[in-house]
A = this chain, B = another copy of it.
Amino acid sequence: MYFSRMTSIKLEAEMVQAELIAVGTELLMGQVVNTNTSYLARKCQENNINVYYHHIVGDNPERLAATFKQALKRSDLVILTGGLGPTEDDLTKQVVAKCLGRELRVDKEASENIRRFHQKLNREITQNNWRQAEYIDGSRILKNHNGLAVGDYFVDNGSSVILLPGPPSEMKMMFEREVLPIWQDTFKSNGVMRNKILRFYGIGESKLTTEIQDIIESQVNPTVASYVNDYEVSLRLTANASDDTSAAVLLRDTGKKIKERVGEYCFSDDQFESLEYAVVYYLTEKGLTISAAESLTAGLFQAMVADAPGASKVLTGGMVTYQTIEKERLLGIPEEIVDTFGVVSSECAAEMAKRVKEKTGSDIGVGLTGVAGPETQEGKEVGTVFIGLAYDDSVRVKELHLSGVRVAVRKKAVKEALNLVIKNIIA
């Protein structure tokens, strides 16, 4: 019911074609990065919807109208995010309604929510607040489970239009609870498009794609595409099939061919979102715990491990020995080591790893020390990093020379440490 028009483009028969529009001057001016359309693009793909364009427009009625009209003309589905709030700038509903010659109506339930919300906080309701309860005539109202402004879902002249709020927490919850159930009903009978993501660490994108160039070029279903994110290289395999099982077979076979070539760098065959997820999973499986003493990374290793589901079982905690003196105070690293070798040294990294393991009683200790920049330290170049890894009775250290600015060096150091744990202990 919500997708009556289907595209008839060859090769993509029966695939709905979508266009995403994020509205907001703060996005247009670059003060806030637009993550909403990335999220929606992933959700579209999971539901066999082809996204062809994303756009950002500001809170400007003419340019929003122009972008919306063009999108509606060439796409089966247009999703807009943002501009549903209570301020004068928020005009997405108004503009869309005007483009289509539809009226705005007021939803009683949403009005009641606005009234209750303000009552509870003892706040006066301004006239503008009621805008959040408005919906476009003829649309299905999308409830906001995390805020006040309702969304819209309607079909106009065969194309579907969805309006969602701008704050990501409101947008995502509205999408998941209100839009997704409609889609799942609609698309049950279509074929499926499924992804498999292989993730690699320790190999560059161009080397990786060169190694499997013939596979990439000869593959039609699944297709293979590479991309880089957070210093990890990924291959996205995308299969079209009549059902889940057939898609899974296609993905598995191509995945296997790729791993025969470059499997040594592959840490995730679709199971893990990142190295830290993989580390937490494998440590849980082996019943091992991990701790860290961090200098240049200042807690980032532990914070990233804690982001992974189930981290509380494997991450004991540890130290942030950011200033030199804390290496002695918190970890008891002998002054001689610091004096003789410096804090940016193999010896110091080894001691950090060993001592944090002892102090926390964990199975694995990681020590991270180095020069994040912008200045050199102890005569060592920016990007010089030592990672110590203590496990059983042995300690090993890896020396690295990383490129990039401060934030990049710190994040790369964390990724290298995670990879070391996988390669040396888990795998």
A interface residues, Cβ below 8 angstroms from B: 24-35, 37-42, 45, 51-58, 60, 63, 67, 85-89, 123, 126, 167, 169, 197, 206-207, 209-210, 213, 216-217, 225-229, 234, 236, 289, 292, 294-295, 297-303, 305-307, 311-312, 315-323, 325-326, 329-330, 359-361, 404, 406-408, 410
CA distance A65 to B102 in the complex (A): 33
A54 touches B38 (CB 8 A): no
B317 touches A321 (CB 8 A): yes
* Chain B residue nearest to A20 in the complex (CB): B56
B88 touches A217 (CB 8 A): yes
Chain B residues near A55: list those with CB within 8 A. Answer: 53-56
CA distance A301 to B322 in the complex (A): 13
A167 touches B316 (CB 8 A): no
Chain B nearest CB: distance from A83 CB in Å? Answer: 12
CA distance A311 to B298 in the complex (A): 10
Chain B residues near A312: list those with CB within 8 A. Answer: 322-323
B319 touches A31 (CB 8 A): no
Interface of A is mostly: mixed
Partner of A209, one of B87, B294, B320: B87
Chain B nearest CB: distance from A129 CB in Å? Answer: 8
B316 touches A318 (CB 8 A): no
CA distance A325 to B362 in the complex (A): 11
Chain B nearest CB: distance from A380 CB in Å? Answer: 15
CA distance A318 to B226 in the complex (A): 40
List the 9 shortest-distance A-B pairs measured between CB atoms, nearest first.
A299-B299, A30-B41, A298-B306, A26-B227, A317-B322, A30-B38, A299-B302, A54-B56, A30-B42
Chain B residues near A302: list those with CB within 8 A. Answer: 298-299, 320, 322
Chain B residues near A30: list those with CB within 8 A. Answer: 37-42, 45, 51
Chain B residues near A213: list those with CB within 8 A. Answer: 126
Chain B residues near A298: list those with CB within 8 A. Answer: 299, 302-303, 305-306, 311, 315, 317
Chain B residues near A319: list those with CB within 8 A. Answer: 317-320, 330
CA distance A216 to B86 in the complex (A): 14
A26/B236 contact (C-beta < 8 A), A31-B42, A299-B306, A318-B320 known: yes
Chain B nearest CB: distance from A208 CB in Å? Answer: 11
A31 touches B236 (CB 8 A): yes
Chain B residues near A26: list those with CB within 8 A. Answer: 225, 227, 229, 236
**20 other A-B residue contacts (CB within 8 Å) besides A55-B55, A299-B303, A318-B320:** A25-B225, A26-B225, A26-B227, A28-B41, A30-B37, A34-B38, A37-B56, A52-B63, A54-B55, A54-B56, A87-B206, A298-B305, A298-B306, A298-B317, A299-B301, A299-B320, A316-B322, A316-B323, A316-B326, A326-B360
CA distance A31 to B54 in the complex (A): 13
* Chain B residue nearest to A320 in the complex (CB): B317
Chain B residues near A326: list those with CB within 8 A. Answer: 316-318, 360
B297 touches A317 (CB 8 A): no
A329 touches B299 (CB 8 A): no
* CB pairs A–B below 8 angstroms (27 shown): A24-B227, A26-B225, A27-B54, A28-B54, A30-B40, A31-B227, A31-B229, A32-B228, A33-B34, A33-B38, A34-B38, A53-B55, A53-B57, A53-B63, A53-B67, A85-B206, A123-B207, A126-B210, A295-B317, A299-B306, A302-B320, A315-B322, A316-B322, A317-B321, A317-B330, A318-B319, A330-B360
